[in-house]
Structure 1
Amino acid sequence: MVELETTIKNRAGIHARPSALIAQTAIKFASRVYLEKSGNRINAKSIMGIITLAASFGTKIKIITEGPDEQQAAEAIKALFESGFNEELG
């Protein structure tokens, strides 16, 4: 299992477009991919699950991956957060 922490850097937070990018990226990996906010863990392969986190700018998110390509999956998801989903950064 790999656990990485990141912070939401884009001003708009996690809305439909970033949720879709996260899910599309997570689906590429065989590993299970989760996002966790304040103890609430969701499947990162589910757009609706991601949206229900209601994560806004500055929120800390834990990325948790389990499986054969867990390190690559965790790093790919973290890279999305670090890029601010190519949106305006705060």
Structure 2
Amino acid sequence: MEKKTYTITSSEGLHARPCSLLVSAVTPFQSDVTIGYNGKKANMKSIMGVMGMGIESGAQVEIEADGADAAEAIAKVDEIMKQENIGE
């Protein structure tokens, strides 16, 4: 299992566009990938699940990947977070 914590820096938080980018990035991986915020977790391969969490700018989220390609999944999330200025 791999984990990484991010602070959301996007001024609008995780709205439709960044959610779509993140979901698209992790969907090809075999690992289960979840996002945790405010005591709740959602499947990161579900755009409705991620958007439904209502993650705002400045929020801290924890991304967790569990499976054979967990490290690669977290690396991809890290790449998207930084490239698209979503979080750090």
Q: TM-score, normalised by structure 2?
A: 0.90
Q: Determine whether 1:14 maps to 2:14.
A: yes
The SS at the match of 2:58 is coil
For residue 13 of structure 1, report the CA deviation from its aligned partner.
0.9
Q: How many residues were matched structurally?
A: 87
Q: Provide the residue aligned with 2:34 in structure 1.
A: 34
* TM-aligned CA deviation for residue 81 of structure 1: 2.2
Q: TM-score when scaled to structure 1?
A: 0.88
Which residue matches 1:24? 24
Cα-to-partner distance string for 1:29-77 (whole Å, 9 max, x where unaligned): 1111000002200000000001011111110000000001000101211
- Which portions of structure 1, spanning 4 or more consecutive aligned residues, are displaced by more than 3 angstroms? none
Is residue 33–residue 45 contact of structure 1 (8 Å, CA) maintained in 2?
yes
Separation in structure 1 between the aligned mates of residue 78 and residue 38 of structure 2, nearest angstrom: 18
Question: Offset at 1:79?
Answer: 2.4
Gaps of 5+ in 2: none
**TM-aligned CA distance change 1:67 to 1:52, over 3 Å:** same
Alignment of 1:1-90 (within 5 A): 1-83=1-83, 85-86=84-85
Specify every segment of 5 or more residues in structure 1 that has no aligned partner in the other structure, as ranges.
none
